Amino acid sequence: MSVENGLWVFAQAVEGKLLPVSLELLGEGRRLADRLDVGLSAILIGHNLQPLALELIACGADNVLVADHAKLYHYRGELYIPLVEKMILRYRPEIFLFGATQGGKDLAAATAARIGAGLTAHCVAFEIDEHKVLKQLVPAFGGHCVFRSQGNPQMATVAPGVFTIPEPDYERQGKIIEIDFSPPAEPATKIVEFKTEKGSAGGLEEAEVIVAGGAGVGNAENWQLIEKLAHALNAAVGATRPPVDEGWVEEEKMIGQSGRNVRPKLYLAVGISGDQLHLSGVQNPELFIAINKDPKANIFKHAHFGVVEDLTKILPPLIELLSPGGDN
């Protein structure tokens, strides 16, 4: 299947590994490409990429466009943006999907502006309509807004965790296409230092148990109850936006459309009203318990079990019961 007029996925390499979202997008990309009967290509930029290219083919790519250079090891807009623009102008993809990572969002936005194409953010589902146009679904206002992007290609970003990683098949055949790259002689920007940092999200995206607190927690002191409960449950701590704005907790812990996408088995929501922009980041928990003093809170529509009570009354005994030596 050809690179021309196909469906493209930006495959992002960080520290020599593919980000999971790149593979997630290949799974969905494969489904859409088959619907359209076009090729699926992954765009891979970085250094020492051979094993990653093979992984992409195993996960569904027909072609991998590879730009391999030591200077491309870390994401750098000044180098990546013109390179991707060049690839688009040469091969004219129909659709181009990006993970909503720091690098993915930046590259998608900048490239879209350069070629004058529309870019839809926060997509959670795609459909192909009868005219072979990509319908892009974005959660908002208690439903889904359906967008179309104009221009070529149709571009969209998708948060990590929306789609699942396909089963790799290392028997699959695909083509690797090398793309020339030569760094500018006098770049205007450079990376002076790079520090790897696990981030303060505390494994939120992989966590099986999450205790999340909202505005209802009320203050930094009460926030300790959330931390203690999470500790007792060996869970990760999550938050809505107000606790982040108030500075009770780091921004990395925010769950929802502009934060993390999580897939816990057990989700405990404390003092959270249940706004869609928060809940759209919580994917199908098997056990969902909500504590909120307002019986009309929207969160009770979505939780499996609800407690209508002041959280400061429920959390202390609950922490006690769940802590080692508690009578549970």
Partner 1 sequence: MKSLKIAVCLKSVPDPKQWHKVTINPQTKTIQKEGIPRIISPLDRHALEAAVRLKEAHGGSVIVVCMGSPGARENIQEALALGADEAVFLSDRAFGGADSLATARALAAALKKLGLPGLIFCGAVSYYGSTGQVGPQIAQFLGINHFSAVRFLDYKGGKLYAEIVTDGGFALCEGKLPLLVTVRREINKPRGLRLSEAIKARKKKIWTWSSADLGLSSDQLGLKGSGIQMFDFLPLPEAQGAEILEGGPQEIAKEIAQKIKKYRQGGIL
Ligand X SMILES: Cc1cc2nc3c(=O)[nH]c(=O)nc-3n(C[C@H](O)[C@H](O)[C@H](O)COP(=O)(O)OP(=O)(O)OC[C@H]3O[C@@H](n4cnc5c(N)ncnc54)[C@H](O)[C@@H]3O)c2cc1C
- Tell me, by CB under 8 A, how many residues bind partner 1: 92
User: Which one among 131, 171, 295, 325 touches partner 1, defined by CB under 8 A?
Assistant: 295
Phi/psi at 173 (5° precision): -105, 145
CB nearer to ligand X: give 258 or 283. 258
**In this structure, are residues 10 and 107 in contact, taking their beta carbons and an 8 Å threshold?**
yes
Report helix, strand or coil for 100.
coil
- 320: Cα within 13 Å, side-chain hemisphere: 6
Using CB distances below 5 to 8 A depending on partner kind, what does residue 308 bind out of ligand X, partner 1, none? partner 1
Tokens found for residue 3 = 């690179």
- Could you say which residues in the range 128-157 bind partner 1, by CB under 8 A? 135-137, 140-151
**Smallest gap from residue 40 Cβ to partner 1 (A):** 23
Residue 290 touches partner 1, criterion: CB under 8 A? yes
CB nearer to partner 1: give 3 or 279. 279
Enumerate binding residues for ligand X (CB under 6 A).
Answer: 214-216, 218, 240-242, 254-259, 271-273, 275, 277-278, 281, 291-294, 297, 310-312
**In this structure, are residues 205 and 281 in contact, taking their beta carbons and an 8 Å threshold?**
no
Cβ contacts of 37 within 8 Å, gap of 6 or more: none
Burial class (CB in 10 A: 0-12, 13-18, 19+), 104: buried
- Could you say which residues in the range 88-107 bind partner 1, by CB under 8 A? 101-103, 105-106
**Smallest gap from residue 28 Cβ to partner 1 (A):** 19
CB nearer to partner 1: give 10 or 63. 10
